[in-house]
Every structure is written in structure tokens, then in C-alpha cells.
Amino acid sequence: MQIRTDLALEQHELNPEVEGIESEEITVGKAKITRITVLNEKGEQAIGKKRGRYITVEVPPFSDDSGMDEDQITAIKNELANMIPKEGVVLVVGLGNTNITPDALGPKTASRVLATRHITQEFARSIGLEGLRGVAVISPGVLGQTGIETSEIIMGTIQRVNPSAVIVIDALASRRLARLGCTVQMADTGISPGSGVGNERAEISKDTLGVPVISIGVPTVVDATTLAYDLLGEKPQQSQLVEPRGAKMIVTPREIDILIDRAAQLLSHSINCALQPSIDPEVLLSLV
Amino acid sequence: MQIRTDLALEQHELNPEVEGIESEEITVGKAKITRITVLNEKGEQAIGKKRGRYITVEVPPFSDDSGMDEDQITAIKNELANMIPKEGVVLVVGLGNTNITPDALGPKTASRVLATRHITQEFARSIGLEGLRGVAVISPGVLGQTGIETSEIIMGTIQRVNPSAVIVIDALASRRLARLGCTVQMADTGISPGSGVGNERAEISKDTLGVPVISIGVPTVVDATTLAYDLLGEKPQQSQLVEPRGAKMIVTPREIDILIDRAAQLLSHSINCALQPSIDPEVLLSLV
Amino acid sequence: MQIRTDLALEQHELNPEVEGIESEEITVGKAKITRITVLNEKGEQAIGKKRGRYITVEVPPFSDDSGMDEDQITAIKNELANMIPKEGVVLVVGLGNTNITPDALGPKTASRVLATRHITQEFARSIGLEGLRGVAVISPGVLGQTGIETSEIIMGTIQRVNPSAVIVIDALASRRLARLGCTVQMADTGISPGSGVGNERAEISKDTLGVPVISIGVPTVVDATTLAYDLLGEKPQQSQLVEPRGAKMIVTPREIDILIDRAAQLLSHSINCALQPSIDPEVLLSLV
Amino acid sequence: MQIRTDLALEQHELNPEVEGIESEEITVGKAKITRITVLNEKGEQAIGKKRGRYITVEVPPFSDDSGMDEDQITAIKNELANMIPKEGVVLVVGLGNTNITPDALGPKTASRVLATRHITQEFARSIGLEGLRGVAVISPGVLGQTGIETSEIIMGTIQRVNPSAVIVIDALASRRLARLGCTVQMADTGISPGSGVGNERAEISKDTLGVPVISIGVPTVVDATTLAYDLLGEKPQQSQLVEPRGAKMIVTPREIDILIDRAAQLLSHSINCALQPSIDPEVLLSLV
């Protein structure tokens, strides 16, 4: 497989006419929503993704300075709200390495998600935040920093926090540079080993954790090898050009830091809105 | 109690002639080591600290630029090695808030402790690091960021990692400004609620976690109220001067960031040396 | 002089009945504005500040989460607008050390001031920002990092940019902890050597630079020696308690980082509003 | 011109047999030194670089963890020392944007160059640093942040500091991914408009500044368009694949932050050694 992408949308574009896949596309304002369902093993093999739902919300690339498109936020919030159980604490997990810019989307987003599990209803009411839902937030780091599989830290936390669902946030790789920073994918299938921007990880899913796992992410890079394959229509003959001494290279905008900051703002605000429907979005923005 | 200090040494100075306390002092090179043992309930009440060992390693304040005094590192390493079981994985925990400078000592130190639990003996040998001990490292954040008591995250991690001991790193408050940045305290009694630089926390100790808990820290601040009491010999009449509208204030060097960086280097290197006695200290320094 | 303060307001409180000083106080909404004018040499000697205007805008301490009080912003904007020439480029200078948290107010604020000098009127119009005033922004660092007096770097820049005025932003020291973070002082007398949080600097004023210099700042610390003097009513006998081995200590909230971030937001937004009266404040906020 | 590179070495590889170019190659330990001289207008046109000397020091890519290869440091130090006048203050300038990771090499390096111009010989002697050369250091930011051309800020500073030479540090673009992070180029021709990682800038050279300008840099990125051209042997037909909506994309390692940190350490230490030949390198390392 020469084309690497974490987006079901792009996998489906590569194999449009397969059995075992259903897809629909709707447009709300500027936001285009694509819902892909992998129905069975045939579908799994065809697009290399586990059975389940994959929802993409696309808007034209960040044209305004803030990156906060209202239509996109509304669409993400609604899709996310539909995937999350209505009751119970939600555990939000920022995956990735805070010291590696293209991989910092998860922790950056998590740092702006409102943690509320420790706030009593009484106190919440006293500060005008009646109806806060319990949310716990962790950024477990990466294996090289901790010596612990991310999935193990999440499992340990689940045993203490007992959430009704887990939301995992991660930087993604896409096939197309045009999608960097302006496409959001949600899925209810968890994170499989080897996903993300090049980190091997044990699976983080309902199968391994015992509670629903909703993943949300934004593509921040394209693999250089994928770009080369797309340009050439075949595997590059001189692999040294794209992977010198076997080192994986990425393609990204020079202003990668700005892309990450905007995507973190977009995701965190959408997640806060989805988790706290009874709180005014403006108030949520002022709290983080 | 008007004087707030996390140092058993200073508590003991306040109540030098009490039953239930043993103390000894030795000097190795530039480093002065004080070992205080709280023997029983009488001792506990006298100095407000739990039964157990409290070891302080002092050197003259950072006079050189690097802050890495060889005598101090050796003394800390030896004392720490004596408190840690010889076998098994060690879980190192950086307590505190990475976004609040005076409270960032724990996470800053943890980020420089070598995580090795995921490295196979075979791989370690192949890169010339035979005899690596298994070490896991986490920085769980603070309650306001996560919605989860730090002790809960640690407990969850312990259940997965099964360590033979936990080392918790924390910023401390001392009574004396002269001790900021140049005194290291280790203890085998864990962290009690309300310790640290003003964060309330559930207890982190062998009683609650089921494995030995060794704490290590450096004072980074003096409470303004403590300084006022020491200056006046009594509680300030105009409490507004030191706690305007009840806000807790701290006293610290203007160059607090430099103090934290140096203390994090000192602690992380000492911990790495204590945990990896078979690796050359120079090699350890180059790995983090 | 045992009491150190950069606020003319506090100097005046210490010597309220002197010749050579005029003061008036008005209240607009939540904001209390105090305008002090040092008229002559008598006034200069009495309050230790150069002839000129000193304007303080106080609001009750940050009670809301964002720290952006509308009344305070309006008052600062208006006072600042009155001090700045109506025409010509303005050079904004963030003084201080970005690596020392209590001293980082200047650079942090400057990084959020909108630089526009390089934008043509034509381009500004094309993006809906007609009437942009030319603004240049630098953060020259501190002597220990650059080897160059800050005043020299500013002078060199003035020779190239030819501004009609300079605004210098700096962290201040106050006498009272209650004023940290919630008081803003503006002055038209520049910055004198030894001001700021302990850095010696050559004077930055109209006398040395040849153009009007307006300073703006927020107190971020109280000198420990000043607090001790206020508590005792005299110089501390045991100076080791407040200045161990001669090291200057400061008093500040533990959450110093949050104080600095909020003050930088407040100052930068007020400066942007004062310099760009033809642009909508909401648009200005979205641009930085 | 489809291939973009800031390295004279790579330009020369593209046009090896031209008049007006001299080149020699020597090897010292692990370091390969290539000295290219552009002699005249023919040479200038052939390789698109101004008349002058271009020296490249290459070592095998960072294999050790610290990235500090002794042979490379020695070679850079010697070549640099040969390009700098023996007497007078040297002004070191870190070009680039500290908030954009691939562009932060200049400011990151500058922050570790020892500023000494303000230190008296007397004081230097008293701390055992006899023979310190006067060095001034600035990081002027980028046009979008300051509203001032970088060259203007440098000119203004030169007028005050009166240096005998300027060293400018900048992130470079290379043609080959294999060179990222492990090749250092020095030149005595200054920086031309449009160099660096995509910023347009007015020329910074002896012609414009009146003093010798030595540039030093490390490639941190390859332009995606350059990689595409090299893979295809021609301009990509589907330019949207590499420049979606005209946005310039870069190719770089995922661990770009680590590459930048290592390169900044390498450059700053080499510059410090070249500028302070009378100080022990170990002492220099401990001072920054």
C-alpha cells in the first residue's frame, strides 16, 4: 500500500465501488459532511478500516484569521453529540507528543477542553454554570517519554474514572495537502496500532477499553512517500529522494505551528460545545 | 500555625527538643546531609509530619552557572538509592502544573527522567546500555486541568505498570528564602493533602497506593504570610498587606524560571543516576 | 528610600501634601482614573519622578476569567490616545526578558500589538482595513542577552523608522500587592535608569530619543524588602530574612503566569484600540 | 528554475562544468569541507549566487543523540574564524520567526550565543574570562511582526554598535532531504532577498550594511515543489498536488523540533568557539 491516509474519505475515494461500504454526503452552510459506514469484512478489507462510522466535516481551507468557521463548529458539535452517550462522565484524551509540533494537536486541544468532573453541581450552579456535564481530561504523552503504552494509561484512568465514553484526539495524516488543517474526521472505531503521525501504539477501542471510543482529528501532514507515489503513479525508483537512509519525511505548510493552533482551537471549542450543550458557547470560550 | 514549610528540617528547627524525633547530620564534600526520623505519634504532632524518614541535602546556593554540584548529586543519588527497592520497575511522577512557573518543577524534572520500561534488554544491550532498570514516567497534571485527583491517575497507572516503588517529584515551600533552589528533600512518607505550593490533593502514600512512595523536591517559594510572621514574630495585623482579598502570595527570586530549570536538571540527573547505577553518568546526561 | 514603587500614585500617597504636584481623580464606570502631574523640581524631589504626567487606571482586581474589563480598556484607550501625536508612525517597544516570567510583560504585550507600517494603504483597503495607522513593533531583549543597551537599539530603530512617538511597555513594581495585575500606569516621561523589575538601563525618554516617549505598564511584583518595610514600619533588622546573601526577592501571586498573560491581553488590546481608532475593536482582537 | 536551494554546493552540482566557479574539497576527520568560490558574473549567472565564498561542512547525519560532532564543530569554527576580522565587536543576528518551528533556527541559535559587549575587561578578568571578544546579539523578528524590514533594524543597530562584522544566522532550504540538519553553509556574500524559508527580505550584505556580512545556516526544509521536480524530472502537471491553492508546502522530518534544537546547539557552540578563541570550549558551553 503506497498511499497512506488516516481518512476513511480518502480510502473510499481510492476504492469507490466496493461492497460493504455505505456513504452519504450532505451540505450545511459552508460545511460538507460525509458519513461513511464500513458494514462488514468486505468493506474492512476494501478500505483498510475497521467496521463502524467515519464522519468527515470539510470546509474551504482557513480563509479567515481565526480559523473558527461557525458552520464547521456546528456540524462537528452535532455529529459528535450523536456519537456520545447522553449520560455519564466523558474522558477526553489528547494523544501525541507535545514537543513535536506536527504531533502536538492532541495535547494542545486537550489543554483547552474544559475539565469539570471535580466540580460539584452546587458549585457549578453558584457560578452560573448549571447543568455542567462531568468531563475528565488527560494527555498521557508518548511511549518514548513514559515507557508506558498510551492504551495502558488510558485503561488505568478508565478504571478510576468509570466514564461512559472516551474521546481521543489525534493528529492525522491525509493523502491530499489540500485537506491539511481544514478537514475534521470523527469515528466510532477507536485508534488502531500504527495510526497517527507515525507512532506505533496498541489499539485504543471499545474492544480493548470496554467503553465506546470516539476519535476526532485533523490531518496535519502528508507522508512524503504518499506524495511521491501520487506524483509518479508508482513507487519512487530512487527512494533515497523521499526517505533518505529510511527516515520518514512529511509534507506540511511552513506555518505548521499556526495550523496546529487553529485546529486545536476548532476541535476544543467543538468538543466543549458538544459536551456542554446547556452552556452558552461564548461562555465556554471565555472559560478556557 | 503561622509558619508554613514542607521541610522537616525547618519544622525540626522550630521544635528542636522534642521526643519522638531522631536526627543526624553528616557532611560529604560541600554537601550537608541531615537525616530526620519521625519515630512515633509524639514526633508526628511535634513537627506536623508523618512517621518516617526525611533527608535533606544542602549545598551553598547555586554559585556556578550550571547548578550541578557534584557533591550534591552524589549525596542525593546515594540517599535515594537507599530508599528505593533494588528490584522492579520504578514509576516516576512529576506533580504540578506545567503552566504555572513556580509549580512546574515536577513536570520539568519528569520530562528529563529516562523512561526505559518499554526498552527490551536485548535492544538496550545492542546500544551499549546493558543493565538498564525499568522506569516509567508520567506527569498527571493538576485537578483543575484534568478533573481527576492526581492520586487516582497514579493509582490507575500503578495497576497497569505494577511498580516496586513510586518516586513523586514536587515543588516545595520553605520557611527561609535562603533555601530556595539549593536544598533537596527526600522522604519515604509520601505527599499529604495540602502539601506542595498551595494545591489541595488527596494523599499519595504507601497507605493509599500500596507500594513505597519516595518524594523528592526543592523549595521554590516562601509563603508571604510565613515571611511576614517571621519578620514580625506574630501574625500580621494588617493581613491585607500580605493576602489582599485573601489571595495567597509567594516570595521568590525574580529569576524564578532559572531557579526551576536548574533544580529540574539537578533532580532529574540525580534520579537518573540513582535508578541506573550501571550506566555512566555522562551517558545518562547525553540521553535526556 | 525603603519603599520601592514605580507608580506615581503610590509615591504621591506616601507624600500627599507636597508642592509641585497636581492630581485629580475621576471615575468612569468601574474604572478609577488618577491623573498626577509633576510640575517642577520640588515635585520631582518629593515623589522621585520626573516632571510630566502620570495616569493610573484602576479597576477592582480581575474577577472575571478573561481579565478584559470594558471600562478599563476604554479608559486606557482614551488616556493613551490623548498622549500620542495624531499623525505619524508609532514605534511600540516591549521591554524586558521573555525568559523571566515576571519580566516578560513587555515582549508578551508587544507580540500582540498589530504591526502595520509595512502594509500599504491600498492593501489595507483591499482587506477592509481602511485607515490603518502605521505601527512598528520591536522587543529588543535585555542587556545580558544582547550586549547592547536597550536605549541604543531603540535609538537605532528610530533613526530608520522615524516615528512621531514611542510607546514603551514594561513590567512594574508596586508597593501594594493589591495592585498587582489590576492597575495600569501610563506616563509621558519615559523610563529612567533602574526602573522596571530590577534591570539597570540607560534612560529612554524624549531627552535621549528626541521624540515623545509614552510608557505603559502593569505592576507584576512587589519587592520583598518593600513589603518587609511596610510590615515593620522600618528597615528589617535581619536583612537575611528578605535578601539572603543580597539576592533581591519579589512577592507575587503563585499564578504569576496567568497574571502576565491577562495583563498582556489587556495592554495589547488597549494599545491596538488607541492606535487604530478607525478599526472595529472586535476585528482588532481577531487579527492578533 | 524549478529546483530551489540555498546551498551553493547543490547549485554547483546542478551545473558542475561552468566557468567562473572554483571549488575544492577536503576532509578532516568525519567532516567534509567544500569551498566554492564564485569568481565573476559568469559564475554568478551559472549558479544564481553572488560573487564570493561559500563553504559547506558536512558530516554524516546526526547519529548520536547530542548532535554535537567534534570534527564538525572544529571545521565550522576554523572556517568561520577565517572569515571574520580579527579585531572589533561582532554583531550576531538571528533571522527568522521564533513562532514558526522550521523558521526558528536563527533566533534559537542567537539565544545561545554569548553576548559580551557590555562586559568590561576588568570584570571578565575577575571571573576568569580574560580576553573575551566583544559580541552583540539581536533577533530582530520578521516583517509581519515588526512592520520593519529586518535589514533596517540591523542597519540601525550597526550605527550604534559599530561592529567590524555581522554574522547572520538563518534557516535554509536545500534540494536534498538527506542534507537536512547535517550540513552547515557559511558564506561571505550576505543574504539576498527571497532567501531563507520563504520570507521576502531586503538584502543584508556588505553592500547595504557597509561591514562584512558572514551568513551561517543549516537546511531545515526542502520545498515540496523542488522534491516534485526531482521525482518527475519536470514541473508537476497537477500543481494542485504540491501547492494546493498556491500554498507553498515544505518537506521535513516529523521531528522537526528536534532537528532545529540540535542545529541551534551546533551553530551556537561553533560561533561561540570561533568568536572566543581564548576561552575553553567547555566553559563556553556552561555559560549559555
Q: Which of D135, D136, D148 sits opposite C157 (nearest CB)?
A: D148
Q: Are D183 and D6 in contact (CB under 8 A)?
A: no
**pLDDT above 70 (res D63):** no
Please count the residue pairs, one from chain B and one from chain C, whose beta carbons lie less than 8 angstroms apart: 113
Integer Cα distance of A115 and B145 in angstroms: 6
Three-state SS at A218: strand
Q: Which 3 state secondary structure label does DSSP give C275? A: helix
Terminal Cα distance for chain A, rounded:
41
Cβ–Cβ gap A249/D249 under 8 Å: no
**CB–CB of A159 and B159 under 8 A?**
yes
Q: Within 10 Å of residue A232's Cβ, how many Cβ atoms?
A: 14
Please give the DSSP secondary-structure letter assigned to residue D194. Answer: T
- Judging contacts by C-beta atoms under 8 Å, the chain C residues touching residue B245 are 61, 178
Residue A200 banded pLDDT, cuts 50, 70, 90: very low
Inter-chain CB proximity D136 and C118 less than 8 Å: no
Q: Which chain C residues are closer than 8 Å to A287 by Cβ?
A: 65
DSSP D216-275: EEEEEEEEHHHHHHHHHSS--S-GGGTSGGG--EEEEETTHHHHHHHHHHHHHHHHHHHH
DSSP annotation of A191: B
Residues 93-112 of C with CB under 8 A from B: 99-103
Measure the CA–CA gap between A139 and A169, rounded to whole angstroms.
10
Asked, for residue A154, whether it belongs to a domain, the answer is: yes
Check if A211 contacts B (Cβ < 8 Å): no
**A138 to B141: CB separation less than 8 angstroms, yes or no:** yes
Cell numbers representing residue C166 in the block: 514611542
DSSP characters over C189-225: S-B-TT-SSS-----BSHHHHSS-EEEEEEEEEEEHH
* A259 vs A219: CA distance, rounded Å: 10
Q: What Rg value do the Cα atoms of chain C yield, rounded?
A: 19
Q: Which of B180, A103, C144 is nearest to D136 (CA)?
A: C144
- Between CA C9 and CA C98 the distance in angstroms is 27
Is residue D151 a contact partner of residue D204, using CB atoms and an 8 Å limit?
A: yes
pLDDT at residue C210 greater than cutoff 90: yes
Count Cβ atoms below 10 Å from residue C70 Cβ, excluding itself: 12
CA D144 to CA A65: how far, in whole Å?
A: 14
Pairs of CB atoms within 8 A across A/D: 113
Within a domain: A28 = yes
In angstroms, the CA B253 to CA C115 distance is 34
Q: Which one, of D168, D102, D101, lies nearest residue D139 by Cα?
A: D168
> Which of chain C's residues have a Cβ under 8 Å away from the Cβ of A257?
none
CB within 8 Å: D258 and A100: yes
Name the residue in chain D with its Cα closest to that of A230. D241
Give the whole-angstrom CA distance, residue A129 versus residue B97.
Answer: 25
Region B146-166: mean pLDDT is: 96
Whether D278 and chain B come into contact, CB under 8 Å, resolves to: no
- By DSSP bridging, strand C165-173 and strand C213-223 are parallel
Cα-Cα end-to-end distance for chain C: 41
Return d(Cα B200, Cα B130) in angstroms, integer: 41
ipTM attached to this prediction: 0.93
pLDDT of amino acid A239: 86
**A2, part of any domain:** no
Reduced to 3 states (helix: H, G, I; strand: E, B; else coil), residue B244 is: helix
Q: Tell whether C144 is covered by a domain.
A: yes
Any B CB within 8 A of C250 CB:
yes
- CA–CA separation, C225 and D146 (whole Å): 38
Residues 150-189, chain C, touching A (beta carbon < 8 A): none
Q: B68-99 pLDDT, tens per residue?
A: 788 999 999 999 999 999 999 999 999 999 99
Spell out which residues of chain D touch residue B64, defining contact as CB-CB under 8 Å.
286
CB contact under 8 A, D138 and C118: no
pLDDT (tens digit, 9 = 90+) per residue, C111-149?
A: 999 999 999 999 999 989 999 999 999 999 999 999 999
Give the position of cell 508612525: C89
How close is the nearest chain B Cα to the Cα of A201, in Å?
12
Please identify among residues 20-79 of chain D the ones whose CB lies closer than 8 Å to any CB of chain C: none
Q: Are A105 and A122 in contact (CB under 8 A)?
A: no
Q: Residue C272: exposed, middle, or buried by beta-carbon count in 10 A (0-12, 13-18, 19+)?
A: buried
B208-251 pLDDT tens trace: 999 999 999 999 999 999 999 999 998 888 888 999 988 899 99
Give the rounded percent of residues in chain D with a pLDDT score beyond 90.
Answer: 80
> Residue D175: which of D185, D187, D188 has the closest Cα?
D185
Summarize the confidence of residues A275-286 as an average pLDDT. 94
Task: Give backbone dihedrals phi and psi of A265, rounded to 5 degrees, phi first.
Answer: -65, -45
C-alpha radius of gyration, chain D, whole number: 19
Question: Residue C169 above 80 pLDDT?
Answer: yes
Q: How far is CA B84 from CA A248, B77, B184, B275, in A?
A: 40, 11, 17, 9
Best A62, A63, A65 member to test C by mutation, with max C CBs in 10 Å, is A65
Lowest average pLDDT, out of B178-187, C45-54, D144-153, D186-195, goes to D186-195
The torsion of the CA quartet C1, B224, B143, A279, rounded to 10 degrees, works out to -60
B138 domain residue, yes or no: yes
Count the domains in chain D.
Answer: 1
Per-residue pLDDT band for B65 (boundaries 50, 70, 90) equals low
Of the candidates B100, B240, B244, which has its C-beta nearest C255's C-beta?
B100
Answer yes or no: is pLDDT of B66 > 60: no
* Residue C284 touches partner D, C-beta closer than 8 Å: no
Report whether A79 contacts A154 (CB < 8 A). Answer: no
CATH number for the domain that contains residue B279: 3.40.50.1450
A137 close to B (CB below 8 A): yes
Read off the pLDDT of each residue in A12-23 and give the average, rounded to a whole number: 90
Best of C90, C129, C148 to disrupt the D interface (most D CBs within 10 Å) is C148
Question: What Å distances lie between residue B59 and B253, C179, D51, CA to CA?
Answer: 18, 37, 58
- For testing contact with chain A, the best of C62, C63, C65 (most A CBs within 10 A): C65
D274 Cβ contact list (under 8 Å, min separation 6): D76, D77, D78, D80, D81, D84
Using a CB-CB distance cutoff of 8 angstroms, which residues of chain D are in contact with residue C115?
Answer: 144-148
Q: CB neighbours (10 Å) of residue C118?
A: 15
Provide, as residue numbers in chain D, all residues whose Cβ is less than 8 Å from the Cβ of A224.
177, 227, 251
Domain membership flag for residue D36: yes
Residue C2 lies in a domain: no
Element (H, E) at D70: helix D70-83
DSSP H/E element including B257? helix B256-275
Q: What are phi and psi of A69, to 5 degrees?
A: -80, 125
Residue C251 scores a pLDDT above 70: yes
For A204, which DSSP code?
Answer: B
> Among D61, D230, D250, whose Cβ lies nearest the Cβ of A252?
D250
Domain region containing D212 = 8-287
Q: What is the pLDDT of residue A65?
A: 52
Give CA–CA dist C257/C99, Å, rounded. 12
Entry pTM:
0.94
pLDDT tens across D131-188, in order?
Answer: 999 999 999 999 999 999 999 999 999 999 999 999 999 999 999 999 999 999 999 9
The verdict on residue B3 lying in a domain is no
Q: Which of C270, C256, C272, C226 is nearest to C104 (CA)?
A: C256
Element (H, E) at D124: helix D121-126
Grid cell digits, residue C124: 489595507
Count Cβ atoms below 10 Å from residue B258 Cβ, excluding itself. Answer: 16
